Chains A and B, each alone.
Chain A
Amino acid sequence: MTTYAMVIDRQRCVGCGACSVACKSENNLSEGIRWSDKITETAGTFPNVRFDYIPTLCNHCENAPCVKGCPTKAMHVGEGGIVMHDPDKCIGCRYCIANCPYGVISYNWRKPFTNWESNEALIKDCTISPSDMLAKVGGKGIPYYNPEREATLPGIRPTGVVEKCTFCDHRLKRNLLPYCVEACPADARIFGDLDDPNSEVSKLLGKYKPHRLKENLGTEPKVFYIRSFNPGTYVKSKGGV
């Protein structure tokens, strides 16, 4: 049995957003759709302010409320415990969005990538139009279209269905890491098998006390966060009254 999980080391994460950019291009995500995202939080009052950056993605919960609530099993648990979505079975009810406490499921409200259908040049008499560009490179909907995504899902998901992170299941099938993990320049994302005690994720979870988002809801997320970014130090004292 394999149970895929991700550990995000917030000490290493520099908040560059490379994970989100990599995800967008790997999975052909349309405008407004983000499978990989981040929560930024500030605490304190200037000048004593702290800035927190929490990378997010689908948590592939053990007790996934989106899976439980999906009327047609379009949202289902696939190989390796990955929460997958089958757009061919999706009835567009958006109950998974209602149920997901993390806000990581997106609905395709509009036809994707319509901006690439435009015949108007970005700069008149200087550049070619988006549609000319598309015709020139032969992309499907977008010039930077990744055909490898088609291995397990439609390359671009149609209007009227939801979509979300799949832990790059199409890459896992080829023994490649999810692309956000691969693209992270700080190696802040560590991916592996929770059931293998010798995997990197198991070792890290044994070494550091992890936390998960909204654990009180009992969803048992499989995205774990360890450590916390803090390069500072302070002068030892007992405070005062």
Chain B
Amino acid sequence: MSNSKSLFNMWLVLLAALVVAGVINAILVLSQGLGSYNQSDVVFWGLPMAGYLFFGLTAAGLTFLSSLPSVFGLKHLYPIAKRSSLLAFAMLLTGLLCKGLDLGPLSTVTNLGWVFFSPNLSSPIWWMAVLYGFYLLLVLSKFWKMHKGQWHEGGAFQMAIGALFLSVFSFVALSLVFGTVVARPAWLGASMGLTFLVTALASGLAALLLVTYFQGDNGGSLFDDLATYLKYALAVSLIIFLFRLIVAYSTDMSGFDGFLGMSGSLSFNLELWIGMVIPLIMLAFESIRKIKGSKALASLLVLVGMFAGRLEQLLSANVIPMGVQAEGQAHMVSYMPSLTEWGVIALALGLSLGIYSLAVRYLDLDAIPQ
């Protein structure tokens, strides 16, 4: 018992170190701007934006999962409802943090007030910002209701429905952010929404499986059910990825050059092999599935691959210089995230895992309705 307690404390120390390093990094970014990022007017969105996509979309998947018992009546999933709800909140909060640290110095971040005072309703980014703001509040409120034991009273059901709708709408707005950029066809237009939908569910399931495993609740049928859902989500994700690949290889549009050019990159291969193919094989074959820890390992691989995938999705449309930016540049520019950019991810990871770890200890995440 004391051994597990000291392990837990060490884990908290590690997360605290990540958060402290991340906070120092954030202060640097907020005081000096994004000059320490290895980004440019060509690669204008990099690792922090990929972090935002990863955490934000994983949160969308988790919100959907946490709504399954209360909204869709899948009562056997109640044991994961509170857990996934809290994890969705932690992921969403840190995702928004990543985006905040991708805007610029404090003087720019404070301009966010204009989102309310000077709204542009034709802008997908405006809708995304507003919906994500409300979504965060509702996810937190929904968790609070669960924590108070008010699973079916005091508007809890409406809150669960609201959180589900907002997760869907904010996810749609996020898809539109990319899908409406006609200048960059590699973001696949409306099809990006489908990619986000399936991969969000896959990464949400993977995150939930992983934390469930570490909570020791890994032998039951619920754990197996989640692994089965993940297997199907991965299979569909792989089909959509192959669809992107086929479109890119068969089209004459030069806008897909970036995606094709990235097929030899680390992020592309991590996404395909580590994020989809290998975990799918691990979950598809019973002989592998039965090995202790294999489902958790598959989930970890999915998360690593999905994170790389978010970066690949961003870069596929902006590694080829646009218009006059191509002057004096290589046909395809390279991008290697700086330490400061990794610092943003370290902060997000430390914070989300820290919130979850403390919640495990103090907030009884296994609670179910009476």
Q: Are B108 and A89 in contact, CB atoms less than 8 angstroms apart?
A: no
Task: Pick the contact of A91: B32, B108, B180, B324 (CB < 8 A).
Answer: B108
B124 CB-CB contact with A under 8 Å: yes
Q: Which residues of B contact A (CB under 8 A)?
A: 32-35, 37, 39-42, 44-45, 103-105, 107-109, 111-112, 114-115, 118-120, 122-126, 129, 177, 180-184, 318, 321-327
Q: How far is the CB of B263 from chain A (nearest CB, A)?
A: 22
Residues 170-181 of A, flagged 1 when their CB comes within 8 A of B and 0 if not, give 000000000000
In the complex, the 6 A-B pairs of residues with the closest C-beta atoms, listed nearest first: A160-B104, A103-B323, A160-B108, A101-B183, A92-B104, A110-B35
Contact of A159 with B33 in the complex, beta carbons under 8 Å: yes
A153 at interface by CB-CB < 8 Å: no
- Using Cβ atoms and an 8 Å threshold, which residues of chain A touch B109? 91-92
Q: Which of A34-42, A121-129, A192-200, A231-239 contacts B (4 or more CB under 8 A)?
A: A34-42
Cα of A33 to Cα of B348 in the assembled complex, Å: 32
Encoded as 1 (CB less than 8 Å from any B CB) or 0, chain A from 83 to 95 comes to 0000011111111
Q: A71-B120, A72-B115, A161-B108 are in contact. List 16 more A-B contacts (CB 8 A).
A: A37-B324, A38-B324, A38-B327, A71-B126, A95-B177, A98-B181, A98-B183, A98-B184, A103-B322, A103-B324, A107-B34, A109-B37, A110-B35, A159-B104, A159-B107, A160-B104
Q: With the chains together, A109 CA to B108 CA distance in Å?
A: 12
Asked whether A102 and B327 contact (CB < 8 A) given A91-B103, A109-B40, the answer is no
CA distance A95 to B118 in the complex (A): 16
Determine the chain B residues whose CB is within 8 A of the CB of A217 once the complex forms: 182-183
- Contacting residues, chain B, for A102 (C-beta < 8 A): 322-324
In this complex, how many residues of chain A approach chain B with their Cβ under 8 Å: the count is: 45
Contact with B along A62-95 (1 / 0, CB 8 A): 0001001111111000000000000011111111
- A63 CB to closest chain B CB, in angstroms? 10
**Contact indicator B114/A98 (Cβ below 8 Å):** no
CB distance from B52 to the nearest CB of A (A): 11
Given A91-B115, A101-B323, answer yes or no on A160-B125 (Cβ-Cβ < 8 Å).
Answer: no
Contacts of B115 in A (CB 8 A): 71-72, 91
Q: Which residue of A lies closest to B183 (CB)?
A: A101
30 of the cross-chain contacts (CB-CB < 8 Å) are: A40-B327, A68-B120, A70-B120, A71-B119, A72-B114, A72-B115, A72-B118, A72-B120, A73-B114, A73-B118, A73-B119, A88-B111, A90-B111, A91-B112, A94-B45, A98-B44, A98-B45, A98-B181, A102-B322, A103-B321, A104-B323, A105-B41, A106-B41, A109-B33, A109-B34, A110-B33, A111-B33, A159-B32, A160-B105, A217-B183
Is A99 an interface position by the 8 A CB rule? yes
Within 8 A of B (CB), among A128-180: 158-161
